[in-house]
């Protein structure tokens, strides 16, 4: 039977669609046959701009176009990680009522996350490197439970990103969008997944849920920035519960804190 609903997954900074593989495998063990899972690879923005709002909007355009292509008139849930969280928020606003829910995994705030000049320079200097050891060190510094396989997936995704697209993504999530300074217009339920990430912290994400009218917060301990790679089974539990809840006829959402 053709799944009647679509969940679209959007990767974060210098990642690609391959980072969702372990989560998809974990979800395949659950009874979610009514859902089709798709993951997009964000492409470099053709326009020559460093304006973070225009970059985020261009990435959101890609998500909207892809979502309409794969979902047609079917219901959607959008899932975004890190920078992908900001992109998903903009895309969900454009897709409107067809979006039945949003899941944000250690999301970058839509308003932006400005870095000190020396840190920004360090991030920029690593973009486009083909030195796998340098990439490994950066990934390990932001994770807690990476397996060797998971580390390989993340390293490969960095190698595939390239400097131009990586710089666009960096400018996008650090600069942010003015829409992030106000309450989100998303009326669908939003689940925010926090971990023990030291960059987008649990306390900061708990505060971020206040921007959404119907939000809940889940916490996955002993995971760093990439819960979908570090703790895919644990994340699959929350994704499955959320998908089941938004699938129920007459679904009524009340803010819940999952611990």
Place of tokens 């917060």: 217
Q: Digits of tens for pLDDT over the chain (259 positions)?
A: 578 899 999 999 999 999 999 999 999 988 777 899 999 999 999 999 999 999 999 999 999 999 999 999 999 999 999 999 999 999 999 999 999 999 999 999 999 999 999 999 999 999 999 999 999 999 999 999 999 999 999 999 999 999 999 999 999 999 999 999 999 999 999 999 999 999 999 999 998 899 999 999 999 999 999 999 999 999 999 999 999 998 775 544 444 444 4
Q: Classify residue 43: in a domain, yes or no.
A: yes
Looking up residue 58, the CATH number of its domain turns out to be 3.40.50.1820
Per DSSP, the three-state class of 40 is strand
Q: Classify residue 58: in a domain, yes or no.
A: yes
Q: What are the E-state strand segments in the chain? A: 5-10, 35-40, 75-81, 99-105, 190-194, 215-219, 257-258
Q: What is the pTM of this model?
A: 0.94
Q: Other CB atoms closer than 10 Å to residue 16's CB: what's the count?
A: 20
Nearest to 146 by CA among 63, 41, 228: 228
Q: Are 88 and 80 in contact (CB under 8 A)?
A: yes
Q: Which domain holds residue 140?
A: 5-249
Buried/exposed code over 77-90 (b: 16+ C-beta within 10 A; e: otherwise) = bbbbbbbbbbbbbb
Q: Classify residue 96: in a domain, yes or no.
A: yes
The pLDDT of residue 33 is: 75
State the total domains in the chain: 1
Q: Classify residue 256: in a domain, yes or no.
A: no
């Amino acid at each position: 039977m053709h799944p009647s609903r679509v969940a679209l997954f959007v990767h974060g900074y210098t990642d690609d669609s391959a980072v969702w593989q372990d989560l998809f495998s974990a979800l395949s063990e659950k009874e979610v046959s009514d859902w089709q899972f798709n993951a997009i690879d964000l492409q470099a923005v053709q326009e020559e701009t460093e304006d973070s709002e225009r970059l985020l909007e261009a990435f959101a355009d890609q998500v909207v176009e892809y979502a309409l292509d794969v979902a047609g008139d079917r219901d959607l849930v959008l899932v975004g990680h890190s920078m992908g969280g900001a992109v998903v928020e903009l895309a969900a606003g454009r897709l409107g009522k067809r979006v039945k829910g949003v899941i944000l995994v250690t999301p970058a705030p839509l308003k932006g996350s400005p870095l000190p000049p020396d840190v920004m320079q360090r991030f920029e200097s690593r973009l486009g490197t083909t030195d796998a050891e340098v990439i490994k060190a950066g990934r390990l510094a932001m994770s807690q439970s990476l397996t060797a396989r998971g580390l390989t997936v993340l390293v490969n995704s960095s190698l595939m990103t390239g400097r131009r697209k990586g710089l666009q993504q960096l400018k996008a999530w650090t600069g942010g969008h003015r829409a992030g300074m106000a309450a989100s217009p998303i009326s669908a339920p939003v689940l925010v997944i926090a971990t023990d990430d030291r960059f987008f912290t649990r306390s900061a994400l708990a505060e971020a849920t206040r921007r959404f009218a119907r939000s809940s917060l889940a916490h996955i301990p002993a995971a760093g920035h990439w819960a979908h790679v570090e703790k895919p089974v644990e994340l699959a539990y929350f994704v499955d519960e959320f998908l089941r809840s938004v699938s129920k006829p007459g679904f009524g959402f009340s803010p819940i804190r999952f611990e």
